[in-house]
Amino acid sequence: MMDDIDRMLIGRLQEDATQSYAELGKAVGLSGGAAHERVRKLRERGVIRRTTIEVDQAALGRAVTAYVLVDGGAWMGGSADALAAIREVEEAHVIAGPASVLLKVRTTGTKELQDVLRRIFEVDGVTGTQTVVVLETFFERALE
Amino acid sequence: MMDDIDRMLIGRLQEDATQSYAELGKAVGLSGGAAHERVRKLRERGVIRRTTIEVDQAALGRAVTAYVLVDGGAWMGGSADALAAIREVEEAHVIAGPASVLLKVRTTGTKELQDVLRRIFEVDGVTGTQTVVVLETFFERALE
DNA sequence: GGTGAAACGCCAACCAT
DNA sequence: ATGGTTGGCGTTTCACC
């Protein structure tokens, strides 16, 4: 229900999802039709969520990346929605450890970061935040 | 050198990069050809890095996500390469704050996480690590 | 920089093997 | 899963604006 060929197909598509199925099939030792059918099933099963583009956030004006540790206990129910409503928050995870939630935030600058922190603080249950600013990103890549 | 239409095109393509340029053009009030030309230039300029697929990591067997704070000072030169060589490391950032580097790591389980931590420890300049395990991910999304 | 149309190539759907 | 075939659609290019 998920062999090496499927993994190869996923790897190839992560690198370049614009290539033809004929090309894709040749790369993994399959015909175009067979490759297409496998990819169709991977999409159907939700292993492949969607086809998308990778954007240079800096080119879009988002120069500052920061991680925000959020303290506070009431993380049932609507808190996730309240965080999702803050558009600069790219990821939100519940974590084991010192804080309750870890957020990844991208903004155009420190000014906007300050504003985002203010809005995070207004979310129900939040009692405090600790912010870690990224100075340089070595890499952000797709696994496998 | 980057207007609202470009931003709309990027937003649409992030949601679904399989749609036709005709469709894309209609959505932003342009002809298919014009939409295609704009997207071509966005790729050329590197704003759009590549077209890729979004994969359900859990379906691939990667059930555990963790953030690793790495201590140690010698972060010039080859350290980034040494970290990139660890395939389970998805992101690596130099940060301002308590530790030097923040890593995002995905593994099949805690056993493999332990092994990854051991390999991180073997990288030159690393003097210690602190690991934060993700219990639940609210969301990981594309901005804009 | 955008439009509209024409030519080409690829994808998607079949079927027999 | 393959290979051949066919129909339809999207991409790409062109002259024109």
Read off the pLDDT of residues A44-68 as tens digits, 9 standing for 90 and up: 999 999 999 999 999 999 999 999 9
Residues 40-99 in B contacting A (C-alpha not used; CB under 8 Å): 45-57, 59-60, 62, 65, 67, 80, 83-84, 87-88, 90-98
pLDDT band for A99, please (50, 70, 90 cuts): confident
Please report the sign of the dihedral spanned by the C-alpha atoms of residue A36, residue A38, residue A39, residue A43: positive
Judging by DSSP bridges, how do beta strands B101-107 and B48-55 pair with one another?
A: unpaired
Give the nucleotide at minimum CA-to-C1' distance from A31: D2
Question: Are the Cβ atoms of A91 and B139 closer than 8 angstroms?
Answer: yes
Of the candidate CATH numbers 3.30.70.920, 3.30.70.141, 3.40.640.10, 3.40.50.620, the domain formed by B57-133 belongs to 3.30.70.920
- Domain A4-45 is of which CATH architecture? Orthogonal Bundle (1.10)
What's the mean pLDDT in B40-54? 94
Percentage of chain A exceeding pLDDT 70 = 97
Where are the domain boundaries for CATH 1.10.10.10 in chain B?
4-45
Asked if residue A58 keeps its beta carbon closer than 7 A to nucleic acid strand C, the reply is no
What's the mean pLDDT in A111-134? 96
Which pLDDT does position B98 carry in this prediction?
A: 77
Where are the domain boundaries for CATH 3.30.70.920 in chain A?
57-133
CB atoms within 10 A of CB B2: 13
Which pLDDT does position A49 carry in this prediction?
A: 94
> Burial level of A113, CB count in 10 A (0-12/13-18/19+)?
buried
Place of tokens 């690596």: B92
A10 touches chain B (CB under 8 A): yes
- One-letter amino acid identity for A14? Q
Give the nucleotide at minimum CA-to-C1' distance from A38: D1
- In this prediction the pTM is 0.91
pLDDT in tens, B82-133: 999 999 999 999 999 877 999 999 999 999 999 999 999 999 989 999 999 9
Neighbouring residues of B124: CB distance < 8 A, sequence distance ≥ 6: B74, B78, B79, B82
